[in-house]
């Protein structure tokens, strides 16, 4: 092999390993911008809750006229706010069923490009909600950005996993989650009253999510399509070879292409299974259970719901600056996700996941106990007496230990 190619050789006969090329860095960075938006929209609705509720109240009063009630009924406000938060997950749940169809039809890269239409529309609607005096516009925007995030949650890991070299697949795969938690942290910081979490700037806080979408729209066209998609799904050997050359920096990608050919032959030998056949297959049962449990473990931990309402939780615990406590939780979340990027190839996926599950189990128990103590008469934490009781301390422990 001529010198100068992005390849690491070995004197003892080990197969060469791909270096990290500029094209690979650009492709991964461009893709995880979608995950950054996903995380941003998880955390952005939390801190400005009070100013958004005040806007809802003003909008409702304006529609009632001078003879109407003096303020929006608490039950109506609670319903509107809960809908504004939860509709994000509804949009994501619906769109997630389309990940496979869209990724096969458009390809990984073009699917991410098309998905940004939802991000731009959703961000624009949320940014215009206050100017149009319409909480329906904000709710619709949250639904669209949720649909965007649902597609992103599948498209980004799929694309990154297919373009990553084998020895870096675990580390690069964790960048998806790292981008999510960084997005959450950015939203928490920008949501402070000293930043964009004010009565006049909160629409900008919600609408600024269009910026990463626009950046991704600019960068993705310069990135290669997944070689796996091009060869295995589309049977396009020439474009797949070209994509491999761009990603690896190698002049000869025959070995990498041979791996794709071998994978395609194996897939062609396997007969398609229906859902019932898949569930009844002894061969596929264990991999299926592992795949489902891996996905459910993070979602059923409830961490996303905690981040939706963490400011309210800290406030009820008597924390004097709940927004800053939320940021502290976000920093811890980001730091330990960053640590996992460097540990995943050393400690292994299974070990790290089991440690994480153990931590989540313990913290969920502590969170439940802390919240029960807060609502019990004469409990440890008194929301009206922030300087007394141990409820705030327990909640700080719960938020720091993950």
For the segment 161-175, what is each residue's pLDDT rounded down to a tens digit? 999 887 788 778 888
**Rounded distance between C-alpha atoms, residue 212 and residue 237, angstroms:** 33
Residue 247 buriedness (CB in 10 A; 0-12 / 13-18 / 19+): buried
Last residue in a domain, options 184, 207, 223 = 223
Of 147-151, 316-320, 391-395, the range with the lowest mean pLDDT is: 391-395
**Rounded distance between C-alpha atoms, residue 23 and residue 26, angstroms:** 5
Does residue 316 share a domain with residue 199? no
In a domain, 159, yes or no: yes
Of the chain, the percentage scoring pLDDT greater than 90 comes to 43
Counting the structural domains of the chain, the total is 2
- Pair of tokens at residue 323: 């927004």
CATH number, residue 101: 1.20.1250.20
Last residue in a domain, options 184, 203, 223 = 223
In a domain, 60, yes or no: yes
The mean predicted confidence, pLDDT, of the chain is 82
Q: How many helices (H) does the chain have, and how many strands (E)?
A: 18, 2
Alpha helix (H) ranges present in 348-382?
349-375
Q: What integer pLDDT is reported at residue 208 of this predicted model?
A: 94
The three-state secondary structure class of 271 is coil
Tens-place pLDDT, residues 175-229: 898 999 999 999 989 998 889 989 899 999 999 999 999 999 999 999 999 999 9
In a domain, 390, yes or no: no
Last residue in a domain, options 183, 200, 223 = 223
Contact assessment for residue 94 and residue 141, using Cβ atoms and an 8 Å cutoff: no
Q: What integer pLDDT is reported at residue 393 of this predicted model?
A: 43
Contact assessment for residue 367 and residue 400, using Cβ atoms and an 8 Å cutoff: no
- Pair of tokens at residue 250: 């190698």
Question: In angstroms, what CA-CA distances link 313 with 46, 155, 328?
Answer: 11, 33, 14
Does residue 329 share a domain with residue 199? no
Contact assessment for residue 107 and residue 168, using Cβ atoms and an 8 Å cutoff: no
Of 24-33, 50-59, 233-242, 346-355, the range with the lowest mean pLDDT is: 346-355
Does residue 216 share a domain with residue 356? no
Of 49-58, 299-308, 392-401, the range with the lowest mean pLDDT is: 392-401
Does residue 324 share a domain with residue 219? no
Does residue 319 share a domain with residue 203? no
Of 176-180, 194-198, 294-298, 326-330, the range with the lowest mean pLDDT is: 294-298
In a domain, 77, yes or no: yes
In a domain, 247, yes or no: no
With 70 as the cut, is the pLDDT of residue 93 above it?
yes
In a domain, 11, yes or no: no
Cβ neighbours of residue 122 closer than 8 Å, sequence gap 6 or more: 141, 142, 143, 144, 145, 146, 147, 148, 209
Altogether, the residues listed in the chain come to a count of 402
In a domain, 314, yes or no: yes
Q: What integer pLDDT is reported at residue 375 of this predicted model?
A: 65
Give residue 326's domain range: 306-375
Does residue 311 share a domain with residue 219? no
**Rounded distance between C-alpha atoms, residue 212 and residue 217, angstroms:** 9
In a domain, 6, yes or no: no
């Amino acid at each position: 092999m001529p010198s100068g190619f992005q390849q690491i050789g070995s004197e003892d006969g080990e197969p060469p390993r791909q270096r990290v090329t500029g094209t690979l860095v650009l492709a991964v960075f461009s893709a995880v911008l979608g995950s950054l938006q996903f995380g941003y929209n998880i955390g952005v609705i939390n801190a400005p809750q009070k100013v958004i509720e005040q806007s809802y109240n003003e909008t409702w009063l304006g529609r009632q006229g001078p003879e109407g009630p003096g303020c929006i009924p608490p039950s109506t406000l609670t319903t509107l706010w809960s809908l504004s938060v939860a509709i994000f997950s509804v949009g994501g749940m619906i769109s997630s069923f389309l990940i496979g169809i869209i990724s096969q039809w458009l390809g990984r890269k073009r699917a991410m490009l098309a998905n940004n239409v939802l991000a731009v529309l959703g961000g624009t609607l949320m940014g215009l909600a206050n100017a149009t005096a319409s909480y329906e516009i904000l709710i619709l925007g949250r639904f669209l950005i949720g649909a965007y995030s649902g597609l992103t949650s599948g498209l980004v890991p799929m694309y990154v996993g297919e373009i990553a070299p084998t020895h870096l697949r675990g580390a690069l795969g964790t960048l998806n989650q790292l981008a999510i938690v960084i997005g959450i942290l950015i939203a928490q910081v920008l949501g402070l009253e000293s930043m964009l979490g004010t009565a006049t700037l909160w629409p900008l806080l919600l609408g600024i999510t269009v910026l990463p979408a626009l950046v991704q729209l600019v960068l993705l066209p310069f990135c290669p399509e997944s070689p796996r998609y091009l060869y295995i799904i589309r049977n396009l050997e020439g474009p797949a070879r070209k994509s491999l050359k761009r990603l690896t920096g190698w002049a000869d990608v025959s070995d990498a292409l041979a791996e794709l050919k071998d994978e395609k032959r194996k897939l062609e030998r396997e007969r398609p299974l229906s859902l019932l056949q898949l569930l009844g297959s002894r061969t596929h049962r264990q991999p299926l259970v592992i795949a489902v449990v891996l996905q459910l473990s993070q979602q059923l931990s409830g961490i996303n719901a905690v981040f939706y309402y963490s400011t309210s939780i800290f406030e009820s615990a008597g924390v004097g600056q709940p927004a800053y406590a939320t940021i502290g939780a976000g920093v811890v979340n980001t730091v330990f996700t960053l640590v996992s990027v460097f540990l995943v190839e050393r400690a292994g996926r299974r070990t790290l996941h089991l440690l994480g599950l153990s931590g989540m189990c313990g913290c969920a128990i502590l969170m439940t106990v802390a919240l029960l103590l807060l609502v019990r008469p004469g409990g440890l934490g008194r929301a009206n007496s922030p300087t007394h009781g141990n409820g705030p301390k327990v909640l700080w422990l719960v938020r720091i230990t993950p």
